[in-house]
Amino acid sequence: MDMKNLQRSDFDFWTAVDTRWRDMDALGHLNHTAYLTYMESARVEVYTQLGFSGIRKDMDESTILASMDVHYLSQVKHPASLEVGHRICRIGTTSFDFLSAVFIKGDTDPVCSALFKMVAFNYEMNQAIPVPVPIREKCSSIK
C-alpha cells in the first residue's frame, strides 16, 4: 500500500475537523501531534457509525492502539478545514487495521496518512478479545 498516494476513494468513513489555534507550533504550521488527535477523534466516530456507543474502557468490547505508522506529507497552516478518512483494511482474530488520511477540505491529496493497528480489548480482564461482531459484519468484504 502506497501511503503517500492515497485517494479519497480509498476511504469509507469521513469526519470533518477544523484546526485550532493551539494546534500550531512555533514554526507556524500544525504540530505533528495535532494530526494524531484528529485521526483519533475521527476513529472514535467510526466506532459510533459501526454501532458502538463510542469506545471506552468500561465496555466489554473496546480497543487499544498497538502501533502506528504515520507519514507527514505536507504542511498545513491554521485556520484550515480538514476531512479525515478511515477504512478498516485488515481484520484478524483479535486485531484489525485502520487506514487513515487527513485531507484539506476540497483537496485531492492527503497532508498526512497513517496505518493504525488496533487490538480488540477488554480492560476489565486486561486481555485481547476477538474482534467485535459489528466490525466483522460491517466490514465483511475485508479478508
pLDDT tens for residues 9-54? 999 999 999 999 999 999 989 999 999 999 999 999 999 998 886 6
Query: What length is written for the chain?
Result: 143
How confident is residue 60, by pLDDT bands cut at 50, 70 and 90? confident
> How many whole angstroms separate alpha carbon 80 and alpha carbon 83?
10
> How many whole angstroms separate alpha carbon 19 and alpha carbon 38?
9
134 upstream amide cis, omega within 30 of 0: no
Cell numbers that stand for 138 in this block: 460491517
Q: What is the pLDDT of residues 80-108, one digit of tens each?
A: 999 999 999 999 999 999 999 999 999 99
Q: What pLDDT does 58 receive? A: 72
Scanning the chain, the segments in alpha helix (DSSP H) are 32-49, 133-138
Q: Are 100 and 16 in contact (CB under 8 A)?
A: no
